[in-house]
Amino acid sequence: MTNSVKMLDGRSIPKLGLGVWQATNEQVIEAITTAFEAGYRLIDTASVYENETGVGEALKMSTLPREEMFITSKLWNPDQSNVEQALEDSLTRLQLDYLDCYLIHWPAPSLGQYTNAWKGLIKAQQSGLIKSIGVSNFLPEHIDTLIQQTGVTPVINQIEKHPLFSQQSLSEWCTQRGILVQAWSPLAQGGKGIFEQPEVTTIAAKYAKSPAQVILRWHLQHNTLVIPKSVTQSRIVENIQVFDFTLTPEEMTLIDGLDKHQRLGPDPLEFV
Residue 126 falls inside a structural domain: yes
Residue 253 falls inside a structural domain: no
Residue 239 falls inside a structural domain: no
Residue 28 falls inside a structural domain: yes
Q: pTM surpassing 0.95?
A: yes
Q: At a CB cut-off of 8 Å and minimum separation 6, what does 236 contact?
A: 18, 31, 34, 35, 38, 40, 230
Q: How many domains is the chain partitioned into structurally?
A: 1
Q: How many residues does the chain have?
A: 272
What's the number of CA atoms in the CB half-sphere (13 Å) around residue 245?
Answer: 21
Residue 80 falls inside a structural domain: yes
CATH number, position 36 = 3.20.20.100
Distance between CA atoms of residues 250 and 56, nearest Å: 43
Residue 92 falls inside a structural domain: yes
| Residues forming the active site | 49
Residue 216 falls inside a structural domain: no
pLDDT at 191: 75
Q: Please, which contacts does 147-155 make with residues 24 or more away whose CB atoms are closer than 8 Å?
A: 149/115, 149/118, 149/119, 150/115, 150/118, 150/119, 150/122, 152/118, 152/122, 153/8, 153/177, 153/178, 153/179, 154/179, 155/7, 155/8, 155/9, 155/11, 155/13, 155/101, 155/179, 155/180
Instruction: Give pLDDT < 50 ranges for the chain.
Output: 1
Residue 240 falls inside a structural domain: no
Q: Which domain holds residue 113?
A: 4-190+223-231
pLDDT at 2: 54
pLDDT at 257: 97
